[in-house]
Structure 1
Amino acid sequence: MSRGTITLPEIGSQAEALSAAWEQLKMQQNWVRDYMANGEYDEVVFIGSGSSYYQAKVMATTFRQWLGRSAIALPSSDIFLFRDQSVARGRKVLLVGVSRSGESSEVILALNSVEELSNWSTCGITCYESSRLGLMTECLISPLGKEQSTVMTKSFSSMTYMMQAAIAQAAGGNYAEQMEKVLELQGDIVNSGRDFAESLVAANDFIKYIYLGMGAYYGLSQEVGLKLKEMSYVWTESYGTLEFRHGPKSVVEPGTLVCLLVSEQARAYELKVAEEMKAYGAFILLVTTAGGEDTAFADSVFEIGAASLSDEARTVLYLPLLQYLGFYTAMKRGVDPDHPRNLTQVVTI
């Protein structure tokens, strides 16, 4: 079997997966009303494992910013093993399980662990309506997020987008309009990201990979670093952008790729960090709304546009390029991204 024949088209079809999620959300307005728009909860806790945990981080950040209410993201295991250390006792809590397959043992154990607690309610998001998660609690369903590959790509994009769209509808204002704009842009971003990533990988041989992001892009930086690690077996690290300066920057040397997911909210500060890493010999890749005089120092700049949108709304636009970067790095190294060693689609305990 040829390498990459499953993963490549799945990355390439994520615009369609987002559109399907948007249409599905129209049929799940009761879910939006009962959970995202329901102000009776003191805390909303998004949980997941692996990539789904990084999704949860993006979701919680978006929830806090757009709704102005308390929300956190935790690994699923923190709820069933360390619940009282993780969430203050006595609060009215909504627990939101995030799982592509809906079969992750840790998510199921977490939801089961709060079943008898009167102050906890549950819901979720998955790609499989008949999964254990889909059957045990009310879930948003990303209908085209289903994947054959082990590594999450379009499922991550579509589930993240769908939850953000649900939060946007609960928040009101122009947030839903922003999410509609993302649909218009995603197809072109997928196509341009593929060509950009293929050329970047062909032209360079990196020995270290560092991903940096802040706000909603911190969880995203962890996810795209994981994509590269899963697909190609190269070591990657991810940090909050300014935090990287406090010790971790010691690993930077020639041959290091530093990829910065540039926000508009903290753009000036973030670019100062990237410029410093450039001085240490790193190859700087910036993913940003637009290049300019302030990005001229970078070795490579990928523009996604959409500067009129909020940082949170643009989140999934950052993904195609960096998923393709993992894919083409794997192909260059002779690794099959469809079947990563030691990994399975569903992790069970």
Structure 2
Amino acid sequence: MDKTYFEITRQYKMLEKTIACVESQKEALREFYLAKKPKSIVFIGSGSSYYLSQSAEIIARTQYGISSSSIPAGDAMVNFKANKKAFEGSMVVAISRSGNTTEILKTVNDMKNEFGISSVGITCVEDSELGRIADLCIKMPWAFDESVCQTGTVTNLYAASALLLAGFAGDSTVFGDMRKMTAAGDRFISENEPEFKKIANKKWDKVVVLADGEISGLACEGALAFKEICCTISNYYHVLDVRHGPMVLIDKNTLVIADLKPDNKDYQLSLIDDLVKKGATMVVSTDDSYDAIKNIDLHVKHPNVGNIAEGLPFINIAQLIAYHRAILLKLDPGNPDGLDAWINLAK
């Protein structure tokens, strides 16, 4: 079995371990957060983990009312002095597959040394530099992807970030939503993958991913999956915001993957209708509250699991279409030319 395909299709089994891991630390996480009393949380990451930081920022703010921000670790490292007011009195949460990315490590060290702030790491290796320097670290070695292009790792890091915040807030709801989606995950993939493969075989050469709210950062990662896995031009936008400029570039050669929310359906469906009129290949993801959507290429329904957990099946759509597109184009989906699994600037 192809390594990348294996890592995509095993991710829900890995998620079971991730949920259990964070849930076992739920009380300790709550005590840690209350003891530190940060004025805000700064989430940092690089590449995929920065996109997950964006989702974590939104989850912290919208679900728990925690002041939060997200910044690429490279930006934070290079422009450290410019971010002084954002960093002072905060807590830093660093998300990293390897736990050894130069920009992340230097930023965490600088923030601790300059401001004495508390730090949390989330990583997919047991022994890493991030694990050594962070005050608290969630380690998920079972979720480590060996492919250069992260798939299952991304999903587990996203889940762990959301569950970390639920632990801080003493909230059990997200744990339940994640368990519900994880229980349905393998079936979701097996039932929908044949349709994803058909979409991969259609005529398109660029991709637009649309989503709002807590899964926005994860949707950015969905767009990145097309760049990395099948070397296809791709972009992410908020759902209705695509009308404000990017709409002019969507045409019959565009694949659009959109996640629609259950509220204010008419505005969202009107947009989908306009995208169909432009000739785009349309894949729409919704919960069960939507009736059949006319004239689109694929309507994917996910379990009703709340705004955060619905990100899990949504990222699967992008990962599997990108994977099957890479196979069609005779590309190596897990090892694109010129990309490293993580960046060590000391080399």
TM > 0.5: yes
Q: Aligned residue for 1:25? A: 22
Report 1:36-185 matches (<5 A). 36=33, 40-86=37-83, 88=85, 91-137=88-134, 138-171=136-169, 172=171, 174-185=173-184
Distance apart, 1:76 and its partner CA = 0.7
Q: Distance in 2 between matches of 1:289 and 1:332?
A: 30
Distance of aligned partners of 1:46 and 1:34 in 2 relative to their CA distance in 1, 3 Å threshold: farther
Distance apart, 1:231 and its partner CA = 0.9
Please, which runs of 5 or more residues in structure 1 have no aligned partner? none
Segment drifting more, 52-61 vs 159-168 = 159-168
Distance of aligned partners of 1:170 and 1:107 in 2 relative to their CA distance in 1, 3 Å threshold: same
Segment drifting more, 174-183 vs 327-336 = 174-183
Q: Distance in 2 between matches of 1:134 and 1:161?
A: 19
Q: Could you state the TM-score of these two structures normalised by the residue count of structure 2?
A: 0.92
Q: Distance in 2 between matches of 1:89 and 1:155?
A: 29
Segment drifting more, 277-286 vs 40-49 = 277-286
Contact persistence 1:229–1:235 (CA under 8 A): yes
Render the CA deviation track for 1:46-80: whole Å, top value 9, x for unaligned: 11011001111111211222211111111012222
Q: Distance in 1 between matches of 2:62 and 2:290?
A: 28
Render the CA deviation track for 1:110-149: whole Å, top value 9, x for unaligned: 1111122345221110001201111211211123211110
Contact persistence 2:229–2:322 (CA under 8 A): yes
Aligned residues: 343
* 1:326 and 2:328 are equivalent in the alignment: no
Q: Distance in 2 between matches of 1:49 and 1:266?
A: 34
- Cα RMSD, aligned residues only: 2.1
* 1:347 and 2:338 are equivalent in the alignment: no
Segment drifting more, 219-228 vs 169-178 = 169-178
Contact persistence 1:52–1:156 (CA under 8 A): yes
Q: Secondary structure at the match of 1:144?
A: helix
Render the CA deviation track for 1:265-311: whole Å, top value 9, x for unaligned: 454433322221112221211012137447224221111122xx321
Render the CA deviation track for 1:59-108: whole Å, top value 9, x for unaligned: 12112222111111110122222235346257410011110011111111
Distance of aligned partners of 1:247 and 1:315 in 2 relative to their CA distance in 1, 3 Å threshold: same
Q: Aligned residue for 2:193? A: 194
Contact persistence 1:228–1:326 (CA under 8 A): yes
Q: Aligned residue for 2:277? A: 279
Q: Distance in 1 between matches of 2:294 and 2:78?
A: 48
Q: Distance in 1 between matches of 2:81 and 2:310?
A: 34
Segment drifting more, 188-197 vs 70-79 = 188-197
Segment drifting more, 226-235 vs 278-287 = 278-287
Contact persistence 2:257–2:283 (CA under 8 A): yes
Contact persistence 1:259–1:285 (CA under 8 A): yes
Residue 311 (structure 1) aligned to one of 307, 310, 319: 307
Contact persistence 1:66–1:167 (CA under 8 A): no
Contact persistence 1:189–1:320 (CA under 8 A): no
Q: Aligned residue for 1:207? A: 205
Q: Distance in 2 between matches of 1:261 and 1:79?
A: 31
Contact persistence 1:196–1:321 (CA under 8 A): no
Q: Aligned residue for 2:331? A: 335
Distance apart, 1:325 and its partner CA = 0.7
Q: Distance in 2 between matches of 1:153 and 1:266?
A: 31
Same amino acid, percent of matched pairs: 22
Distance apart, 1:38 and its partner CA = 5.5
Q: Secondary structure at the match of 1:58?
A: helix
